[in-house]
Amino acid sequence: MNLNSVDIVNAATLEKVVLSQRVAEFLKDEHSVDELAAVENVARMLAQDVAVQVRESLAFELRTCKSLPHDLAAKIAADIESVSSPFLATTEAFSDTEFAGLIPHLEEHAHITIARRGDLGPNTCHTIVTVGSGKAVSFLIRNEKISLYENSCETTIHRFGQNTVMMDQLSCRADLPVSVVEALAELVSTEYRNLLMKTYALKEEAAEEVSSLSQLAVVNKHVENASPSQIHAYVIDLRKSERLTHALALEMANRGCLSFLESMLALEAGLTLAAVRQALYSPQVGDYVRLMQQGNVNQSYSKKYRKIILSSEQG
């Protein structure tokens, strides 16, 4: 019987697949140190095989082994998705500390698989939110089977605070520390802010105070050294996310950022920036009054804005 090269390769691959199954069965039981070491070396060779089918078979069979050499388990975890995912979704071969140390060396698909597990420890969670992509972190914060500690929540907010969708997802958790709830009150959308207040019994006054203080810090960071056009784009984003208020505009104006106030009035009045600036700094009081009316600015804020404008012109 003549065998071509393809038949030979297929036969060799099949033999290795069968061998991977036998190796996994062996490693699940107790054996002498010498026997165990010999079989583990066979597993290491199979984990480096050029045939994906062999590596897939080995990873799948080893996923239920509770004790594996760290280098072997790490090699499988760092493989392509079809090899690593079934293994990472189930394996108990890594401690919380080992998982955390491994994550920075893995690809996004591995992070996502790990983030969906129901038995993650605090170190693993914190490493995912520290180095993982937005997609991986999103899977983690939506995982209701795990606990998220304060440091993981704070890191998530620090990295993704401007991602309203992700902040909304985080606010849906039932295990948030009070400090995290207060920080989220300013970052989530109106719908989820109300839900957050209801879930955690956050008083309206407290929520508004936290919102004002935390938002001011975020806004300052964005407008610092920004050009008027960049500030205008940011103000547009704030308005779209329903986070633009006269209280915020007043505070920014008091801090010398009149571009922020100009942009807000332009959006509220439906005017160009040039038209707003002309009316805002006009010597004719009537021009200023009409601008305030077009922007639906109440008398209290109108007087405060006027005082700041006059002060800036004198300075």
3-state secondary structure 52-89: HHHHHHHHHHHCCCCCCCHHHHHHHHCCCHHHHHHHHC
What does the pLDDT look like over 156-212, one tens digit per residue?
Answer: 999 999 999 999 999 999 888 878 887 888 888 888 887 887 777 654 444 444 455
Same domain, 157 and 122: yes
- pLDDT above 60 (res 258): yes
Containing structural domain, residue 252: 211-314
Q: Of 155, 172, 202, which residue is a domain's last? A: 202
Q: How many C-alpha atoms does 31 have within 13 Å on its Cβ side?
A: 16
Overall number of domains in the chain: 3
* % of residues, the chain, pLDDT over 90: 57
Same domain, 70 and 116: no
pLDDT band at residue 138, thresholds of 50, 70 and 90? very high
Same domain, 195 and 226: no
Q: Of 65, 91, 117, which residue is a domain's last? A: 91
Same domain, 78 and 175: no
**DSSP characters over 230-244:** HHHHHHHHHHHTT--
Q: Of 91, 120, 143, which residue is a domain's last? A: 91
Alpha helix stretches (DSSP H) within 78-203: 81-88, 96-102, 108-115, 122-131, 134-141, 150-160, 164-171, 178-187, 190-200
Q: Which residues contact 118 (CB under 8 A, 6 or more apart)?
A: 143, 145, 146
What was the pLDDT predicted at 279?
93
Radius of gyration of the chain (CA): 29
Taking the mean position of all CA atoms in its chain, how far away is CA 315?
Answer: 44
Angstrom distance (rounded) from CA 159 to CA 131? 10
Same domain, 81 and 149: no
What does the pLDDT look like over 221-242, one tens digit per residue?
Answer: 667 778 888 889 888 988 887 7
Same domain, 184 and 254: no
Same domain, 115 and 145: yes
